[in-house]
Structures are given as structure tokens and as C-alpha cells.
Amino acid sequence: FSELDDFLFADDLLVLNNTRVMSARRFSDDGRIEFLFLERLGPVRWKCLVKPGRKMRVGDAAKIAGATACVEEIGASGERVISFDREENFFEGGIVPLPPYLGRQSDAGDVERYQTVFADIPGAIAAPTAGLHFTPEILARLPHAFVTLHVGAGTFQPVKTERISDHRMHEEQFSISESAAGAINAAKRIIAVGTTTVRVLESAARRDGKLVEQQGTTDIFIHPPAAIRHVDGLLTNFHLPRSTLLMLVSAFVGRDFLLTAYAEAIRERYRFYSYGDCMLVL
């Protein structure tokens, strides 16, 4: 990976997602209920995922850090809107929510290990994992710009619908600064680092392909036969079957190329998923 610049032109622009993973996983004071804090809705209201869900139905309550949490409503995907009896910083004392497919609990090292070296703006519950390969030294050698997409719970959700197009993504917040928009508009080739960056660029670009400073939400689901119009290259990890991330990559490179690349990765014993290896598609 340290030779990445050998595969790029001098005027290529890397675009990276500078979201920062929050320590968003907390347990109730009795240790029986797990809360994953997704989004702050107000001073004392949060959207959360809860396990086991049967213990937190509408009207049920639990204690977290001494505060009383009460379920107001349950969303279509099982997320809870929870009100607390006082304002609290629940990320203090929280733990990093590792993807479930890693099959282990997070430890103290994950606080920094599951964070890109350029992570800046808190808001994600998962890292933009293609960015984990970068060191400050590699990044300093390459022209780059940052966008922000706060990776949400939807990144872990496999496609379960019979028709791919029936799958619905969770909304995620994104933002693009004026300086980033200017740099991206001026670039000859845009190399997106990770699928989250692709989703920002494809969501935010105007019909003429240009970007402006903006912030908003996106639930864009990119899959074949959709075309990716605003990205010229992609650096991405190796993803789970039936994941929306794998389908986005398939839309970019084509199914046949993707199957060939993954067969090679398996044959050469590349590592998959969040802490795994990556591929560069140009």
C-alpha cells in the first residue's frame, strides 16, 4: 500500500471520508440491555438500536449512567426513539461498536485502531474502512480532499429482499465544504476512497457533475445496473456477500470483473472486511 502513488497520476485527487467513529455502544446499568446510539434528536432524545429488543418496547424504561431511558416509539427497522430524564454525554464511558461480523468485543485498542488517521468530525458508528490503510506519510504525498458521511447502522444490513431494488437504506448525514467542492470540481480524475465517499459524491453532484458546499442526508443505494458517474477510480476493501457495499462495487466495475477479482483475492489469501486488505480499481 505504501506504493499507492505509483499507480496514480500526479494530478489525481483522492477524496476521503473524514468522519470519526463515536464510542456509541453502552450497556444499561444492570448490564442486561445494549444500546447503540445512532442519532441525537434533541437535548434528551436519541435514536438507538437496542438488544434484546423485547426488553425495550414502547413505554419500557432502563437506567444508563444513572439516567432513565424510556422508549417513545419504534421505527420500521427496529430502531428506538428514546427519551432520557436528563441530558448526558453517553459517549463518555462508551465503547467502539465494531461490526458484528468481526465476532469479538471491542477493546481499548480499537478506540484508535478502528479510526482513520484523518478522522475529524464525530458522528459515525462505523469506520470508513478503506481509509484505515493510510498513514500520515502516505496521505501527505498525495493530493486529497475530504468529505463527510457519518456511517450509520445501514452499513451492516445485508440485502434480504427478493428484488435488490426493494432494499431500503438508512438515511445518513453528509457534508461537503466549499474548499472540498472546489478541489473536486477542478480535479481531472477523482479517486474515491471507500464506498461512503462514492455515496456522497453521487448524492451531491448536480446534473452537470459539479459540487457546491452543502450538507444534508442521503439514502442512496447504488447497485447494478445503475452507473456511477462522478468517480473515476475506487479504493475499497473486500466486502461481505449480499452487502450493499459489494453491490456498489459491482455497479462500478461490473459483475464479471468483480467475481474475477474476488476469486483472485481468495486464492491469494487476502484478508476481507473491516481490518482486511483493499483493492484499487482504475
Task: Answer yes or no: do 252 and 152 share one domain.
Answer: yes
The parent domain of residue 51 ranges over: 25-84
Summarize the confidence of residues 242-263 as an average pLDDT.
93
- Claim to verify: residue 10 and residue 125 sit in the same structural domain: yes
Question: What was the pLDDT predicted at 158?
Answer: 82
Q: Looking at the structure, do residues 137 and 251 belong to the same domain, yes or no?
A: yes
User: Is 155 or 158 the better-scoring residue by pLDDT?
Assistant: 158
Q: Are residues 69 and 147 in the same domain?
A: no
Q: Is residue 156 predicted with pLDDT exceeding 80?
A: no
Question: How would residue 235 be classed by pLDDT, with cut points 50, 70 and 90?
Answer: very high
Range with the poorest average pLDDT among 120-129, 148-157, 214-223, 233-242: 148-157
Q: Is 255 part of a structural domain of the chain? A: yes
How confident is the model over 27-67, as pLDDT tens digits?
Answer: 999 999 999 999 899 999 999 999 999 999 999 999 999 99
pLDDT at 35: 94
Of the three residues 56, 84, 112, the one that is the final residue of a domain is: 84
pLDDT digit string, tens, across residues 265-281: 999 999 988 888 999 99
Domain shared by 142 and 31, yes or no: no
* Domain containing residue 31: CATH number: 2.40.10.240
Quick one: pLDDT at residue 236?
96
Question: Whole-model pTM?
Answer: 0.89
Q: Could you tell me if residue 177 is inside a domain?
A: yes
**247 and 181 fall within a common domain:** yes
* pLDDT average, residue stretch 200-214: 94
> 236 and 109 in one domain?
yes
72 pLDDT more than 80:
yes
Q: How many domains are contained in the chain?
A: 2
Same domain, 131 and 62: no
What is the DSSP code string of the chain? Answer: -TTGGGGS-TTEEEEEE-EEE---EEE-TTS--EEEEEEEEETTEEEEEEESGGGS-TT-EEEETTEEEEEEEE-TTS-EEEEESS---TTTT-B----GGG-S---TTHHHHTS-TT--EEEESS--GGGGG--HHHHHHS-EEEEEE---GGGGPBP-SSSGGG--PPPEEEEE-HHHHHHHHH-SEEEEESHHHHHHHHHH--TTS---SEEEEE-----TTPPP-S-SEEEEE---TTBHHHHHHHHHH-HHHHHHHHHHHHHTTPPPSTTS-EEEE-
pLDDT at 10: 93
Looking at residues 125-129, what average pLDDT do you find?
A: 92
Same domain, yes or no: 187 and 174:
yes
| Same domain flag for 67 and 131 | no
**Average pLDDT score over the chain:** 92
The answer on 126 and 54 residing in a single domain is no
